Structure 1
Amino acid sequence: MIAPSHRIPRTLVLGEVLVDAICEHPVARFEEVDGFVPHLGGAKANVSVVVARHGGRAALAGVVGADPWGRWLRRRLAVEGVDLDWLLSVDGVATPVAFVTTDADAEPSYAFHGAGLTPGFGALAAVIEPAVDGCDALFLGTSMQVERDHREVARTARARALERGMPVVFDPNLRLDLWADPADAIAVAREGVPGAFLVKANRGELRMLTGEDDPIAGARALLGAGAANVVVTLGPDGALLVADGVERTVPGVAARAVNATGAGDTIAGVLLARLARDGWATATLAGALPEAVAAAARSTESWGAVS
């Protein structure tokens, strides 16, 4: 039985929320697109929704425009049960839109409209410490840290959470195309590892952070850099958990994939929900990982990341 929501610890999810405008059939080239369908999007918005759907509590800290798309996103998130206390609607900001196409292998490509993924994100500086103080755990990544003032918001949140002894979950979510210098992205990502209860990364991110091709060796390198637990997502092959004295591989689940956009976000959301409900422990991660992998596989069978 799921406890009443007010008794479940709340996770602050810090980052991007945007509209995913998706072409709902595979195309080889962008020029073949014949239309787009709007979906709720943004990695952190996706994670927040998954947390709420799996019996957890998530508060999304981010920025949308005080425009029709911003209002549309707020309504969608509210319907899903995501707390919006620190989702700011800012005048003069255009809510970002990602135009998404997928290929025959369900792999997405993006064309962004607007000023990056997190326009106006610096406005959170005025509320970020109360936001952290009002929650019980923190989830963040690098995609909101491209601009210097945005980076300071994330650093303040992380420092505040660690100072208060709160669990921090870090997902590098490395989008090198957003950065003028990819080396800056990797350096910022490495900052997020020390003190993290959990680092969740895919194979490519793990290689960029550690230089290791082998997932177990890369995960161990992140443990050596200060993470307590590491989950490596392996695409259709499942996921791997590595912690002190623990290695667990969960095989992938067969799926008729059309869009892999939200698979990693789904894994993160399921794990966050279970950790909040069942305790922040490696054993909780090990027990929840098969459910997370199965949910991620199901997520690829719909066009929207959290449809």
Structure 2
Amino acid sequence: MTSEPYDLITMGRIGVDLYPLQSGVPLDRVETFGKFLGGSPANVAVAAARLGSRTALVSRTGADPFGRYLHRELAAFGVDDRWVTDVPAHPTPVTFCEIFPPDHFPIHFYRRPKAPDLEIHPHELDLPALRAARALWVTGTGLSAEPSRAATLAALRERSARPGDGLTVLDLDWRPALWDDPGEAPPLYKEALRHATVAVGNLDECEVATGERAPLAAARALLAAGVRLAVVKQGPAGVLALAADGILAEVPPLPVEVVNGLGAGDAFGGALAHGLLSGRDLTEVLRRANAAGAIVAGRLACSPAMPYEDEITRALTSGTGSLPERTP
């Protein structure tokens, strides 16, 4: 553990995204692909790092060339990879998508027989570092199988014992295809929410976690489950957030010509965590997180597309997320 706590530690999925370089073409007819770092928690760490947060990831890769690639990418994006270790028994997962803008992006996960990021064991966690971080971000997918399930809950319980006002975020992240038994999810979400301070999810995810689908009812149910801030993403209707002190914020989406919508939620998450840590007004936090998501939706990739602060400001000023991608 370093002497200076991290702003944000994320925990969970990492893999290689292989995205078609032809839009509107079925996967069986695509001829060329771009290779990118992927996995929602990894992308959230990248997004927050782009905005100036000091971030780290807890995950696992295969002991293979794709694993080495992911370590290089994390370092290039400024995400500390000290807790990203190899699992020789399982290959680094890859994910393909199909691109049919504006709203159809089928995902094909290759995570069998088991993804290495589900092989995070509780005894391997650096609990002092997790407790000291200003924010911890975990996902619902981390609850989908052991030993990741026990490790995720151990990290959350460690945060519950943390003094002060640190952020502990549960991204509901409902991916039923990644569960052997999706019926196990609701009680596990309930247990995780008891130890989180912030919950983030779309309407489908909120319904799985709480049984409520109407945005305000879902937010209230998340607060009743134990969090202090519920953030409900509503797609074309924007985002709603309700705090335990009764503050309600609603923000419409920022218009964008969609190229690939898959990274928008991760950009939103990284900007949300960074904004909450900055102490900004809740409505402003949501405005900037929405803009970050819109910017990434207007670009092909996820991790390389994550915006910088000035790009978010420019998008809000111009009223559109359709910005040219910055050349590294």
Q: Normalising to structure 1: TM-score of the pair?
A: 0.90
Give the whole-Å Cα distance in 2 for the aligned partners of 1:298 and 1:7: 31
Give the whole-Å Cα distance in 1 for the aligned partners of 2:277 and 2:149: 26
Q: Where in structure 2 are the equivalents of 1:235-246 lying within 5 Å?
A: 235-243=235-243, 244-246=245-247
> Aligned pair in 2 of structure 1 residues 225, 54: CA closer, same or farther (>3 Å)?
same
> Aligned pair in 2 of structure 1 residues 117, 16: CA closer, same or farther (>3 Å)?
farther
Q: Where in structure 2 are the equivalents of 1:153-302 lying within 5 Å?
A: 153-165=151-163, 166-243=166-243, 244-278=245-279, 284-302=281-299
Report the AA paired with residue 185 of structure 1: A
Question: 2:262 is paired with a residue of what secondary structure?
Answer: coil
More displaced, 64-73 or 13-22? 64-73
More displaced, 44-53 or 172-181? 172-181
Cα RMSD for the two superposed structures: 2.1
Contact kept, 8 Å, 2:18 with 2:94, in 1: the verdict is yes
Question: 2:294 is paired with a residue of what secondary structure?
Answer: helix
Residue 33 (1) aligns with residue 33 (2): no
More displaced, 30-39 or 288-297? 30-39
Q: What stretches of structure 2 of length at least 5 have no aligned partner?
A: 305-328
1:252-303 deviations in Å (ceiling 9; x for gaps): 111111111111111110111122333xxxx643331101101100100111
Give the whole-Å Cα distance in 2 for the aligned partners of 1:193 and 1:123: 20
Equivalent in the alignment of 1:149: 147
Give the whole-Å Cα distance in 1 for the aligned partners of 2:261 and 2:113: 22
1:51-110 deviations in Å (ceiling 9; x for gaps): 100111211000012211111111111111111121112333311101111223243212
Q: Where in structure 2 are the equivalents of 1:12-23 lying within 5 Å?
A: 12-23=9-20
Contact kept, 8 Å, 2:121 with 2:147, in 1: the verdict is no
Contact kept, 8 Å, 2:13 with 2:117, in 1: the verdict is no
Give the whole-Å Cα distance in 1 for the aligned partners of 2:22 and 2:113: 25
Give the whole-Å Cα distance in 1 for the aligned partners of 2:113 and 2:275: 32
Question: 1:139 is paired with a residue of what secondary structure?
Answer: strand
Contact kept, 8 Å, 1:93 with 1:120, in 2: the verdict is no
Give the whole-Å Cα distance in 1 for the aligned partners of 2:104 and 2:263: 11
> Aligned pair in 2 of structure 1 residues 26, 188: CA closer, same or farther (>3 Å)?
farther
Give the whole-Å Cα distance in 1 for the aligned partners of 2:156 and 2:4: 24
Report the AA paired with residue 206 of structure 2: L
Give the whole-Å Cα distance in 2 for the aligned partners of 1:217 and 1:228: 15
Give the whole-Å Cα distance in 2 for the aligned partners of 1:168 and 1:197: 5
Residue 138 (1) aligns with residue 136 (2): yes
Residue 46 (1) aligns with residue 48 (2): no
More displaced, 6-15 or 16-25? 6-15
Q: CA deviation at 1:146?
A: 1.8
Report the AA paired with residue 16 of structure 1: R
Q: Where in structure 2 are the equivalents of 1:61-72 lying within 5 Å?
A: 61-72=58-69
Give the whole-Å Cα distance in 1 for the aligned partners of 2:231 and 2:113: 28
- Percent identical across equivalent pairs? 32
Residue 111 (1) aligns with residue 111 (2): no
More displaced, 28-37 or 231-240? 28-37
Question: 1:192 is paired with a residue of what secondary structure?
Answer: helix
Give the whole-Å Cα distance in 1 for the aligned partners of 2:229 and 2:117: 33
Give the whole-Å Cα distance in 1 for the aligned partners of 2:241 and 2:113: 32
Give the whole-Å Cα distance in 2 for the aligned partners of 1:205 and 1:140: 14
Report the AA paired with residue 122 of structure 2: A
How many residues align? The count is: 298
Question: 1:86 is paired with a residue of what secondary structure?
Answer: strand
Report the AA paired with residue 260 of structure 2: N
> Aligned pair in 2 of structure 1 residues 8, 158: CA closer, same or farther (>3 Å)?
closer
Contact kept, 8 Å, 2:250 with 2:283, in 1: the verdict is no
Give the whole-Å Cα distance in 2 for the aligned partners of 1:132 and 1:7: 12
More displaced, 75-84 or 174-183? 174-183
More displaced, 51-60 or 6-15? 6-15
